[in-house]
Amino acid sequence: MSAVLTPPASAATPPSGPLHHRIAWHLRHNPKRELWLAWWTVVVFYNLFFPVFFIVAQVQPPPQPTWDLATQVHWFHERQLGIPIGFGIIFAIGGMTAINNALIAYSMRRMSVSRAFAYSYLIIYSLSAIPGLYLLCIALIVGTLRPERDPEAVGWLYDFAFLSFDGTMGVFLIGSLIWMLAILLDKNRVFPKWFGYLNLCNALTEVVVAPCWIFRRGVLAWNGQIAWWLDMVVFGVYQITFIVMLFQMIRREDFGTGPLPDLPRKPKVDRSDVEAAA
Amino acid sequence: MSEVGEARKRVRFVPGQPDMWAFVFFETLVFTGYFGFYLFYRARSPELFLQAQAQLDLRIGVFNTLVLLLSSWSVARCVQSSRAGAYRPALKDAFLTAFFGAVFMVSKVLEWATQIHLGNGFASNDFFTYYYFLTGIHFVHLLIGFVVLGVVIYQLRSPARRSQELIETCATYWHTVDFLWVLIFALLYVVR
C-alpha cells in the first residue's frame, strides 16, 4: 500500500450537444473509458455465457448422472448442433473472463490492502477457468463430434465433463474468500462490508457442491436441488450483485489512493418549485 | 446532535456492523432452503427417516445444544464486559467461548465416528445424507467461528485496537452458528 495519498485526477467535463458528439468525447477523453470498456465486457460475456449454456448448447441444467450409456449417447446426439455452435462461441469469448478477473483485481488494487490479494485472485481465477469451464466444453464437444466412438468412452466423457464443472467449485471458493477478506480489511470503502459477507455466503454454498463426486441421485448429485439449483440461485444473486458493485465502483473512482468518494446525492426536487414552474 | 436525532440513532441501533445482519439474513434463507428440502424428502419416506433417526442418540444432541447455548452466553458476557470497558473479563469470556466451541467440535467428531462405526455412512440412506450434510455444513460455519473468535481476542488484547463494533459483529456471527444449530438439532434429533 502506498503511504502517500495521491490527489484524485480532475474530472473532465463532457460537452453538451448532439449525442454522437458526446459519445465521441467519452471515447476520446473520458478518463474511465478503459474501466467502462472492461465493465461492459463483463456484461456482454455473462449475457452470452448463460444463454449459450442453457439455450444453445442445452447442457445446463445438468442431465441425470444415473442415465445408462445408451441414454447418454442419445443425449450427445440430440445436441450435435447446439454443443458445437454454443461452445464455439464460448471458445471465442472465453478470454473475456480475463477482463472480468482483471476488473475485480483492479477493485482490490484500489483498496488499502496488500497487492497480494489482487494477484492471488487473478492467478486462482485464471487457473479455475480450466476445470470450471474449458474442460466441460472440451469433453462435451469431443463426445458430440466423435459419435462413432465406443459408448463406454462417450459415457466417460459425460461423467468427466459434469464432474469437472460441478465438482471443482472448491477452486472458486478460495477466490471468493480472497475477495471477501480484501473487502473486510479495506479502509478505502471501495465496497460495502455486507458485500464482503455475501462473498462468504457464496463461498459456503460452493463447499456444498463437493459431494456430487459421491452421489449419483438425490439433492447432492450434480443436478441435485441443493448442489445445483439452490447454489445456482445464490450464484445468480452474487453475480448480479458483484456486477452492480463494480458499476458503482467505477462511477465513484477518482484515481486517487485514499478512500473512494461517495457519489454526490441528487438534490431533492421541491414540489412547490415544480408546481410553480408548471 | 439533537434529542430527536439521538433517539432515532438509539432506535436504529443493532449490535455490530449492520452488514453482518445482512449475512445472518442471507444464511438463514439458504438454510431455510436446506431445511425445506429435508422436510420434503422426509415427507416422501417418513418410515425410513424415523428408523434412521432412532439411531441417533438424543442425549448427544441435547449435550451439543447446551454446549453451544453456553458458548452463546459466554460470548454475550464478553460483549457486555467489553462495553463496560472490562477487557480482561471480556478476554476470559472469549476464551471460554472458544473452549465451548472446541467441546462441541470434539463431541461432533466423536458422534460421526460412532455413526460410521455403526455402518451409517454419508451415502447409507437419505436421512444420513442429510444428517452428515447439515451437521457438516454447520461444522464449516463453526470452524469459521474460531477465526472470528480469533479476531475478538486480537481486538481485546491491545488497547490500541478494541473496536467495540467489530467485537459485536463477531459475536453476532457466533450467535448465528448457535441459532442454526438449534434448528438443525430440532429437525434431526427431536422432530419425529
Domain assignment present for residue A81? The answer is yes
Chain A partners of B26 at a C-beta cutoff of 8 Å? 197-198, 201
Domain assignment present for residue A178? The answer is yes
Q: Closest Cα to residue A190, out of A254, A98, A94, A126? A: A254
Categorize the per-residue pLDDT at A207 as very low, low, confident or very high, splitting at 50, 70 and 90. Answer: confident
Domain assignment present for residue B163? The answer is yes
Chain B partners of A194 at a C-beta cutoff of 8 Å? 18-20, 22-23
d(CA A208, CA A210): 6
Q: How many domains does chain A have?
A: 1
Domain assignment present for residue A275? The answer is no
A212 within 8 A of A231, measured Cβ to Cβ: no
Q: Which domain holds residue A229?
A: 29-255
Sign of torsion, CA B142 B146 B151 B152?
A: positive
Q: How many residues does chain A have?
A: 278
Q: Is B101 left (phi over 0), alpha (psi -120 to 50) or beta?
A: alpha
Domain assignment present for residue B5? The answer is no
DSSP class of residue A226?
Answer: I
The alpha carbon of residue A47 is apart from the nearest alpha carbon of chain B, in Å, by 26
Q: What is the pLDDT of residue A243?
A: 96
Domain assignment present for residue B110? The answer is yes
Q: What is the pLDDT of residue B160?
A: 85
State the Cα angle at B108 between B105 and B109, rounded to 5°. 85
Domain assignment present for residue B3? The answer is no
Lowest-pLDDT choice from A199-213, B18-32, B124-138, B177-191: A199-213
Q: How many domains does chain B have?
A: 1
Q: Residue range A46-71: average pLDDT? A: 94
Pairwise CB contact (< 8 Å): A218 & B126: yes
**More confident: A232 or A132:** A232
Chain B partners of A193 at a C-beta cutoff of 8 Å? 17, 19-20
Domain assignment present for residue B146? The answer is yes
Domain assignment present for residue B177? The answer is yes
pLDDT in tens, A111-126: 999 999 999 999 998 8
**More confident: A169 or A185:** A185
Domain assignment present for residue A70? The answer is yes
Instruction: Determine the residue among B31, B37, B161 to mutate to test chain A binding: the one whose Cβ has the most chain A Cβ atoms within 10 Å.
Output: B37
**All cell numbers assigned to A251:** 462511477
pLDDT in tens, B76-131: 999 999 999 999 999 999 999 999 999 999 999 999 999 999 999 999 999 999 99
The alpha carbon of residue B191 is apart from the nearest alpha carbon of chain A, in Å, by 21
Pairwise CB contact (< 8 Å): A219 & B41: yes
Domain assignment present for residue A99? The answer is yes
pTM, full prediction: 0.87
Categorize the per-residue pLDDT at A12 as very low, low, confident or very high, splitting at 50, 70 and 90. Answer: low
Q: Residue range A58-65: average pLDDT? A: 93
CATH of the domain at B72: 1.20.120.80
Q: What is the pLDDT of residue A3?
A: 44
Domain assignment present for residue A96? The answer is yes
Q: Which domain holds residue B110?
A: 25-190
Q: What is the pLDDT of residue A274?
A: 53
Pairwise CB contact (< 8 Å): A204 & B20: no
Q: Residue range B36-41: average pLDDT? A: 95
Tally C-beta pairs within 8 A across A and B.
60
Domain assignment present for residue A124? The answer is yes
